[in-house]
Amino acid sequence: MTNAASPASAHSQSAKRPTLWSAGKAFQAKWLVTLPPTLFLLAFFLAPALIVVGASFREPGEFGGLAPLENLAGLSLEAYRFLLGDVIYLEIFARSFLVAAATTLICIVLAYPLAWLIAKSPAKRRDLLVLLVILPFASNFLVRIYAWIMILGPANLLYTPVAVIVGMVYVHLPFMILPLYTNLEKHDPALLEAAQDLGASAWTRFWRITIPLSLPGLFSGAVLVFIPVLGMFAVPELLGGTGDLLIGNLIKEQFLDNRDWPLGAALSIILTLLVLALAGLAAWAARRGFAGTEAVS
C-alpha cells in the first residue's frame, strides 16, 4: 500500500500530491497499528502451525505426543506415506469436501433471501432482525445440537447423512447471512431505479446488478461456512450414523483417542493445503468475476 501515491494522483489533478514525508509518516502509522495483530498472529497462529508441520514428520510417542528426536535422521515422511498410500483416506477427504460444498450451497440458498429481506427492511427494524439471526449464539452449541437430536429422532432422520447436513447448515447459517446482509445493505437503490428506468425487468435487475454487487459478500460467506465445516467433528459425531466419518473426526481421533500425533498432524497439513489451494482458486475466480462487473460498481 506504500505506492498509493502514484496511481491515485493520476485520476484528479486537484488531489493533494502526498509528499515523501507524509508517505513515510503514513507508513509508520500503518506499522504501529498493524504490529500488535501481526505479532499476535506470528505467535499464536504461525508458530503453532509450524509446530504441527514439524510434528507431522516425527514418530508417535509411547504415551502420546511425540517420540524423542535424537537427530534429524529421525524425521520421516512415514505419516504422509501411510496416508497417501491408502485410498480410504482419499475417500474421507472427498466426502468431507462434498459435505462442505453441499452445506455451503444450501446456506447460500437459505441465507440470500433472508439477508436481502433484512437489508430491505426499515432501518429501525434491521438491528432487531440481525439480533434474531445471532440470538442462537446465546445458548451453548452442544445444547442446540442436542435439541436437533430430539427433533430429528421422531422424524426418523437421526443418525443419517441428512441429519449431518441439517446440523451443519443450522450451525453455519448465520455466518452466511451476516456478510451477505452487510453487503446487500450497502447497495445504492439508485442503481436499481436507474435500471428500471432503462427498462430492465425485476429478474434482470437482480441478476445483472444485485448478484454481481453481492459477490464479495457471497464469497466471504462461503469461506466462513465451507472451511469451518471441514473441521467440524461434533456434528457428525452426535447426529451422524455409522458411516458419517468426516476429516475433522479423523483428525480428532488421532490426537485424542489414538494418540498418534504425527498422523493427525499430517492429516491437518494435507487438509490445510487443500483448503488453501481451493481458497486461492476461488479468490482468483472471484477477481476475474469482478473484473467483468467493474463498470457497475
Partner 1 sequence: MPSRQRRLLVVGALTLPWLRPARAADVLHLYNWNNYISAATMARFEAGCGCRVKEDYYSDNEEMLAKLEAGAVGYDLLVPTGNAVESLIRRGALRPIDRSLLPHFANLKPAFTNLWFDPGNRYSVPYATSITLIGYNIEKMRALDLPTDSWALIFEPKHLAKIKGKVTVLNSQRELMAAAMKYLGHSVQSTDARQWEEAKRLILAAKPYWATFSNSTYIKDLAIGNIWVAHGYSNDMFRAREDAKAAHRPFTIGFATPKEGAVLAIDSFVLHKSGQNPRLAHRFIDFMLEGENAADVSNLIGAGNTNAAAMPFIRPEIASDPGIFPPPEILARLEMLRDFEPRLRRTLSRLWTEIKVR
Residues at the contact surface with partner 1, assessed by CB under 8 A: 59-65, 67, 82, 86, 88-89, 91-92, 95, 140, 142-143, 149, 153, 158-159, 234, 237-238, 240-243, 245, 249-250, 253-260, 263
How many CA atoms are closer than 13 Å to the CA of 276, on its beta-carbon side?
6
CB of residue 227 to partner 1, shortest distance in Å: 21
CB of residue 204 to partner 1, shortest distance in Å: 47
CB of residue 54 to partner 1, shortest distance in Å: 17
Distance CA 67, CA 129 (A): 53
Look at residues 207, 202, 221 and name the one whose alpha carbon lies nearest to residue 286: 221
- Burial string for 263-277 (b: 16+ CB within 10 Å, else e) reads bbbbbbbbbbeebee
Give whichever of 50 and 117 is closer to partner 1, judged by the CB atom: 50
Give whichever of 102 and 145 is closer to partner 1, judged by the CB atom: 145
Distance CA 6, CA 8 (A): 6
Give whichever of 135 and 256 is closer to partner 1, judged by the CB atom: 256
CB of residue 150 to partner 1, shortest distance in Å: 9
For 70, phi then psi, to 5°, come to: -80, -50
Distance CA 262, CA 248 (A): 15
Helix (H) or strand (E) run with residue 74 in it: none
Asked if residue 59 lies in contact with residue 265, where contact means CB atoms within 8 angstroms, the answer is no
Beta bridge partners of 62: 64
Give whichever of 24 and 136 is closer to partner 1, judged by the CB atom: 136
Give whichever of 177 and 247 is closer to partner 1, judged by the CB atom: 247
Give whichever of 65 and 113 is closer to partner 1, judged by the CB atom: 65
Distance CA 169, CA 106 (A): 7
CB of residue 20 to partner 1, shortest distance in Å: 51
CB of residue 133 to partner 1, shortest distance in Å: 23
Give whichever of 20 and 138 is closer to partner 1, judged by the CB atom: 138
Give whichever of 43 and 117 is closer to partner 1, judged by the CB atom: 43
Look at residues 256, 218, 214, 212 and name the one whose alpha carbon lies nearest to residue 234: 256
CB of residue 40 to partner 1, shortest distance in Å: 21
CB of residue 96 to partner 1, shortest distance in Å: 11
Look at residues 143, 282, 134, 123 and name the one whose alpha carbon lies nearest to residue 215: 282
Distance CA 150, CA 239 (A): 10
